[in-house]
Structure 1
Amino acid sequence: MMGKLNSTRNSSIGLLLCLLLASCCNTRDNSSGQSNKKRIVVQTIIENKLLVDSTEIGLSTIISNLEVPWEIAWGQDNWIWFTEQRGRISKVNPATGERKILLNIADVWHERTAGLLGMALHPDMKKFPYVVVDYTYRQDTTILSRLVRYTSINDTLINPVLLLEIPGNTAHNGSRVTIGPDGKIFWATGDAVHSERAQDTKSLNGKILRLNIDGSIPKDNPIEKSAVWAFGYRNIQGLVYAANGILYTSEHGDATDDEVNLIRKGGNYGWPDVTGFYDTPAEQAYNRKKTIAEPLKAWTPTIAPAGIAYYGSDAIPEWHNSLLLTTLKAQSLRVLQLDKAGKTILSERVFFNKVLGRLRSVCVSPDGDVYIATSNRDWNPPKDFPKASDDRIVRVFSIKPGDKLSPAYVNLQQHTDSLSTPGEEIASGGQLIYNQYCSSCHKQDGNGIAGTFPPLRAAKQAVGNKQELIHILLNGLSGPIKVNGQKYNQQMPAFHFLSDTEIAEVLTYVRSAFDNQATPITANEVKSERKANQ
């Protein structure tokens, strides 16, 4: 469906934000390995503008009514090129909102997170007019991920060349492609819901692959005659070859430890044996056998990191030399300040929390404007989304003297805390743990997602035998099950890392919320079941 175009560069995204209140809770900060108490941060509208220290920031919608834009990239023609998950590649003029459709890929297979995903433009399009995309394809019952190169001529993409094809799935396909300044392709692949593939260097799943532009294998790859550049990944969702010459990724963890990584040639990034930092005895023992590259930063509870970009501009000076990270579950833009060498994250700041919804991709223009794509019409929309104009690409820019602005801008004071939505109840105990770990799948109302994630409301597994429920939370669940008469077949991670008290609290909440009226669970009952499982 053609996007509804806005007529002016600074058209309002219509944000009205009265109050944001941060949750005050205990979270695990994997950069220190310890728990820390988060402070409360209150934010209000101030002069209808967003203020980053002394820099005023404006927001405007460039294009709206899109069908799940997955990748956005700044083109050398000064247009924004983007993919939509169902198979369409377009570009939009950020100054006028004019859209041009470049290609509809007929054989894209779309379900859940499968579809048309990553895209990269060659850094020298005049000499090499190539666009490389990653999409999911289905042949009978076989699901595949394809890497295909197109040639760009006169606002069309022609002459598809299949560079590589690997096993795919409805999830964990990875999604990102980038091309380095030397013309080499980097393709981030997921484990395709087979975690054992990530450590198997003969498999191309759970890897970063490096190819020549014609699909051949570079002679200087770390493994002879192999496309594998680095390995040990669950599901990479962000990939950027930064102006500082470093390759960075963002990656979805399982129940814990979303990551941002600095990628080194031949590096092992741990999955599934090490998650986040190797901070448990088992992970430390594994690292002594196989050297594992630790992340620059990890998040527990998870935030579902997505697209990532490098910000080297001085247009927003407070963001200079930072990684810009969009998030899905956390519904925010994270600004990760780097040290001069680009090898350490010094600080994290959170912006637009739950204002725009799920954020999938980000890119930066040469003059320092930031462009963000929302993902509110995908398979897992958050509460209160999608809005009528979703999905959209928005512009974040430094307000300059003389700029003509629409009236609706918000002020978000600087902070490093995750924030709740306006008027949202501050949860505690079992409800807080549920919101942090469970609600993204089973939803805040306990109704789940039809056909994908089962409901907890009136579910036998939730309100029935207490020992069975504790066992599920401690050990996870995989394979087909029936809940309230409907079949489901998704993996649920193990939550054994939670304490006995935390498991008791969250399960008691599940058994009493959503009109459930089951008896509570005690920490001693969890302790007994945990001991029986050892």
Structure 2
Amino acid sequence: MRLAAIGVIAASVSVLVSYQPPKEYSPVKHYVPQDPVAVEHYIPLDSSVLGTNTVASGLDVPWEITWGPDNWIWYTEQGGRISKVHPETGEKRVLITIPEVLRKRSTGLLGMALHPDFERSPYVYVDYTYQKGAEIRTRLVRYTYRNEVLLDPLVILEIPGNTGHNGSRLTISPDRKLIFATGDAAIYPNAQNQQSPNGKILRLNLDGTIPADNPIKGSPVWSWGHRNPQGMTYGRNGNLYISEHGDAIEDEINLIGKGLNYGWPRVEGYCDTPGEEPFCDSIAVEEPLKAWTPTIAPAGLDFYGSTRIPEWKNTLILTTLKDCSIRILKLNRAGTAVIDEKVFLKGVYGRIRDICVSPEGDIYLSTSNRDWNPAKGFPKPDDDLIIKVTKIKDAGKLLASQSARTGNIPATSTNAESAGAAIYTQYCASCHKADGQGVAESFPPLKGAEQVLGPKRELIRIVLKGLSGPVKVKGVEYDQHMPAFAFLKDQELAEVLTYIRMSFGNQASPVTAAEVAAARKGNP
């Protein structure tokens, strides 16, 4: 593979300089966190009780949060700002605002990683989208930290971008390589094309050059077949994990290996359908450790190896957007299988974008309620937030004296909703919203839409086959992808379409399973 950006990398390497930071910014070796002053929410575990409190508020979608060498939390905001906040005092300091960042839908300033030897090499790696003529591009840049600001941007890599599917997580490997997770840029064939940098895990030296031991000589590609990675972390034994958005089904947790193919778009989740099995047999597709249908929109991911919260030791902690929760994924001893899953904080803070873990074992979360697709009831006036989750000392006394709200999954109601409403909530509400109003400039409304109220056979066809490209709804043009829902059973599709045609003020006739079956067979 030969990327146009390789020439940029080579040119950039020649201007690298070394810089010694001021002594006062050396890592603090003995930081001892305090219990939160005001507990907002309690999470009872087997023998521990955790509490949450807000560290920072009023942020603009803190997309990446990471523990800094100065024991502050460093974070990117989607609009183009890089800052840091003190985890105890809440003091914020802006390090840079990048003017060329393009903020549109899910584009913007996204991933960030800090050089592992920050005292000697005070480098901060970030990636962001920007406009280049008519194109959207993703740029990977290295900054130098000096006197509380970020300076001297050095472009390491540029790849195609889009208004979605940009991936864009960064991390540093144990052998000190820069790992960059990219999405397929909404062009599905990119993921299987080894000449394209999109839909890949890329591996670079920290100076931007290509490692000699990458699986494809002269290429940064480490693995391929990825749709839209949203979280990435290293665990024990050098294991690299990513969280990845599926389409309408099969969100994934993957364990990444050198030169492996993860299947997209030929395979979603496991190799378990007649259409997928021949491809898996011929290519040796790597299957996920965990997959979710209905989808949960997995986002930030971190490994928890601390004894501070013993119940969560040797787990992956996953944040979710659509599900508005954190998920604790227990790993086996080797880290090669997910053996248990628990869900906490569901719906409490809205969409949760990222996570980082302090050296002492405290957990920090960032919300994503001011992004392009907020959950119902969000954003709140103080969004977005960075939240601390920590073990509470003397929890028994606290719980006895205060009314504690638990973070466990709420008890399921006695199915007050119809079957169609439940299916709508699982598959449709995240885009078209609970009230059927859609998202301006992104997802069309279902309320009063001619496609909903018109001939049933056309609506069934749309849902069975999906949509890609421009579509006009109520006089407004939308250019967004909608996946096919042919995987749902005839009765399920009939129920959800009936719900849509008879809700949100719509008054249209119901859809029957026989009508769906006929449309599936191509009959009028």
Pairwise same-fold verdict (TM > 0.5):
yes
- C-alpha displacement at 1:426, in angstroms? 4.3
* Pair 1:10-2:36 in alignment: yes
Unaligned runs of 5+ in 2: 1-33
- C-alpha displacement at 1:152, in angstroms? 1.3
| Aligned equivalent of 2:275 | 282
CA distance in 1 between counterparts of 2:235 and 2:96 reads 28
The CA deviation string for residues 329-364 of structure 1, in whole angstroms up to 9 with x for no partner, is 000000000011011101000000000100000000
Distance change >3 Å, CA 66–CA 533, structure 1 → 2: farther
* Pair 1:259-2:225 in alignment: no
8 Å CA contact 1:51, 1:411 repeated in 2: no
- C-alpha displacement at 1:427, in angstroms? 2.6
CA distance in 2 between counterparts of 1:409 and 1:221 reads 55
8 Å CA contact 2:43, 2:344 repeated in 1: no
Distance change >3 Å, CA 511–CA 127, structure 1 → 2: same
SS at match of 1:362: strand
Distance change >3 Å, CA 413–CA 357, structure 1 → 2: closer
Counterpart among 124, 133, 146 of residue 117 in structure 2: 124
SS at match of 1:50: strand
| Aligned equivalent of 2:303 | 310
CA distance in 2 between counterparts of 1:64 and 1:404 reads 29
The CA deviation string for residues 426-449 of structure 1, in whole angstroms up to 9 with x for no partner, is 433111000000000001111101
Q: TM-score, normalised by structure 2?
A: 0.90
CA distance in 1 between counterparts of 2:126 and 2:103 reads 15
Q: Which amino acid aligns with 1:58?
A: G
Q: Which stretch shifts more, 148-157 or 66-75?
A: 148-157
CA distance in 2 between counterparts of 1:467 and 1:328 reads 33
8 Å CA contact 1:50, 1:409 repeated in 2: no
Distance change >3 Å, CA 378–CA 419, structure 1 → 2: farther
CA distance in 2 between counterparts of 1:260 and 1:377 reads 26
* Pair 1:481-2:465 in alignment: no
8 Å CA contact 2:346, 2:407 repeated in 1: no
| Aligned equivalent of 2:6 | none
8 Å CA contact 2:65, 2:75 repeated in 1: yes
8 Å CA contact 2:49, 2:395 repeated in 1: no
Distance change >3 Å, CA 427–CA 194, structure 1 → 2: same
CA distance in 2 between counterparts of 1:146 and 1:176 reads 12
- C-alpha displacement at 1:153, in angstroms? 1.7
Q: Which amino acid aligns with 1:263?
A: I
CA distance in 1 between counterparts of 2:477 and 2:419 reads 31
- C-alpha displacement at 1:450, in angstroms? 1.4
Distance change >3 Å, CA 54–CA 14, structure 1 → 2: closer
- C-alpha displacement at 1:77, in angstroms? 1.2
8 Å CA contact 1:375, 1:391 repeated in 2: yes
Q: TM-score, normalised by structure 1?
A: 0.89
Distance change >3 Å, CA 533–CA 126, structure 1 → 2: farther
- C-alpha displacement at 1:515, in angstroms? 1.1
CA distance in 2 between counterparts of 1:182 and 1:518 reads 61
SS at match of 1:282: coil
| Aligned equivalent of 1:506 | 496
Unaligned runs of 5+ in 1: 1-7, 16-48
| Aligned equivalent of 2:315 | 322
8 Å CA contact 2:40, 2:52 repeated in 1: no
| Aligned equivalent of 1:451 | 441
8 Å CA contact 1:353, 1:419 repeated in 2: no
The CA deviation string for residues 24-56 of structure 1, in whole angstroms up to 9 with x for no partner, is xxxxxxxxxxxxxxxxxxxxxxxxx42111101
Distance change >3 Å, CA 533–CA 132, structure 1 → 2: farther
* Pair 1:230-2:220 in alignment: no
Distance change >3 Å, CA 419–CA 334, structure 1 → 2: farther
| Aligned equivalent of 1:385 | 378
| Aligned equivalent of 1:101 | 94
Distance change >3 Å, CA 395–CA 424, structure 1 → 2: farther
* Pair 1:520-2:514 in alignment: no
| Aligned equivalent of 1:70 | 63
CA distance in 1 between counterparts of 2:142 and 2:84 reads 17
The CA deviation string for residues 240-282 of structure 1, in whole angstroms up to 9 with x for no partner, is 1224411000000000000000000011001000000111111
SS at match of 1:249: strand
RMSD (CA atoms): 2.0
| Aligned equivalent of 1:88 | 81
SS at match of 2:516: helix
Counterpart among 343, 350, 353 of residue 346 in structure 2: 353
| Aligned equivalent of 2:406 | 412
8 Å CA contact 1:460, 1:484 repeated in 2: yes
| Aligned equivalent of 1:210 | 203
- C-alpha displacement at 1:409, in angstroms? 7.4
| Aligned equivalent of 1:36 | none
8 Å CA contact 2:345, 2:407 repeated in 1: no
SS at match of 1:281: coil
Distance change >3 Å, CA 236–CA 377, structure 1 → 2: same
| Aligned equivalent of 1:114 | 107
Q: Which stretch shifts more, 174-183 or 216-225?
A: 174-183
Q: Which has the higher contact order (CA 8 A, sep 6+)?
A: 1
CA distance in 1 between counterparts of 2:444 and 2:265 reads 25
CA distance in 2 between counterparts of 1:145 and 1:409 reads 47
The percent of aligned pairs where both chains have the same amino acid is 56
SS at match of 2:89: coil
8 Å CA contact 2:35, 2:390 repeated in 1: no
| Aligned equivalent of 2:364 | 371
CA distance in 1 between counterparts of 2:355 and 2:480 reads 29
| Aligned equivalent of 2:427 | 437
| Aligned equivalent of 1:471 | 461
- C-alpha displacement at 1:533, in angstroms? 7.8
The CA deviation string for residues 274-304 of structure 1, in whole angstroms up to 9 with x for no partner, is 0001111111111111110000000000000
SS at match of 1:262: strand
CA distance in 2 between counterparts of 1:116 and 1:404 reads 43
Distance change >3 Å, CA 376–CA 419, structure 1 → 2: farther
Distance change >3 Å, CA 296–CA 469, structure 1 → 2: same
Q: Which amino acid aligns with 2:131?
A: R
SS at match of 2:276: helix
CA distance in 1 between counterparts of 2:348 and 2:457 reads 40
